[in-house]
Amino acid sequence: MGFYHPATVVRDALRRGQAVRPVDVGVSAWRATVEAGAVRLGLGQVKGLREAAAARLVAAAAGAALHLRGRSLRAPCSRGTS
């Protein structure tokens, strides 16, 4: 994110009313991106995750998105139900 620490950029965006979305292994790129008017934090924010590993995650997520088109990538939650 350049000269400023990422936490500083996030706080500034929130203070200005800009939506900030967390890192999501299914949609985040290595760097932060803008999507639908919100800032999506990038995989580069994950401590210990190297760029090469993140590139593999991004490629796998893109392949999964194409393979599962029209299906939710999240499994339904059954907590609290028997």
> Per residue in 1-34, pLDDT tens?
567 887 888 899 899 999 999 998 888 999 988 9
Contact 43, 27 (CB under 8 A): no
Both ends of the chain: CA-CA distance in Å? Answer: 46
**pLDDT surpassing 80 at residue 80:** no
Q: Answer yes or no: is pLDDT of 70 > 80.
A: no
Q: Give a yes or no: residue 80 inside a domain.
A: no
Range of the domain at 21: 6-59
In a domain, 11, yes or no: yes
pLDDT score, position 29 = 92
pTM of the shown model: 0.67
Identify whether 81 is part of a domain: no
The CA distance from 78 to 43, in Å, is: 28
The answer to whether residue 69 is domain-embedded is no
Domain count of the chain? 1
- Please tell me the predicted confidence (pLDDT) of residue 72: 46
Query: Is 66 among the domain residues?
Result: no
